[in-house]
Amino acid sequence: MSTLLCLGRHTSATATRYLQLLETSFLVRRVPPFLNNRSSRPIKSPKLHFTDSGIAAHLAQVTSLHPASAEPMRGALLETWVVENISAILDAHLPEATISYCHEQGRHKVDLVIEAGGKIWAIEIKAASRWSDSDLSGLNAFLDRTPQCVGGILAYNRKSAVSLGPRLWAIPLGHLLD
């Protein structure tokens, strides 16, 4: 039994070292969860993003992301690509900004939360060109619970920006990344 416990600790330590190596090599990014109580951030699970969506697509054996295809990884790969592009923009123009994500288990989620200068922006990334009320539920819940949030953005795959209500907009991905 002690051999199994020892093996478990080594496996966990090895996995941690490999993850640190992947981060140091800029192959993956750990995105921490957003919590209003900052002291509890370290005990929550981070989200992992490959920094290169092309490598992520290759590893997932995705060969086409055409909108007409039913590729189940399309949304996740787009999210990875958008997070990395926004991170690069922030690093260049707003280096003090931090990124995180918000997910209430089994309830609401927000793909990207940006904090800078005491202000917060929440972004939900959609590969589709249409959305439903359920696509906005995470943003609406986040806006309700986070008064310091300046606004919520549904980043989607179309050409025009639309106001969806107080502090809530649908913005084309191209505009968001300009």
pLDDT tens figures, 4-51: 445 555 687 888 888 888 888 888 889 999 987 554 443 478 888 888
Span of 54-58, 103-107, 153-157 with lowest mean pLDDT: 103-107
At 8 the pLDDT is: 53
Give the percent of the chain with pLDDT over 90.
37
| Residue from 110, 53, 116, 111 nearest 90 by CA | 116
Domain residue spans of the chain = 27-176
d(CA 98, CA 114): 6
Give the percent of the chain with pLDDT over 70.
88
At 108 the pLDDT is: 83
Residues facing 9 on adjacent strands: none
What count of residues does the chain have?
178
Residue 53 CA from chain centroid, whole number: 13
R_g of the chain computed on alpha carbons = 18
Say whether pTM exceeds 0.85: no
Architecture of domain 27-176: 3-Layer(aba) Sandwich (3.40)
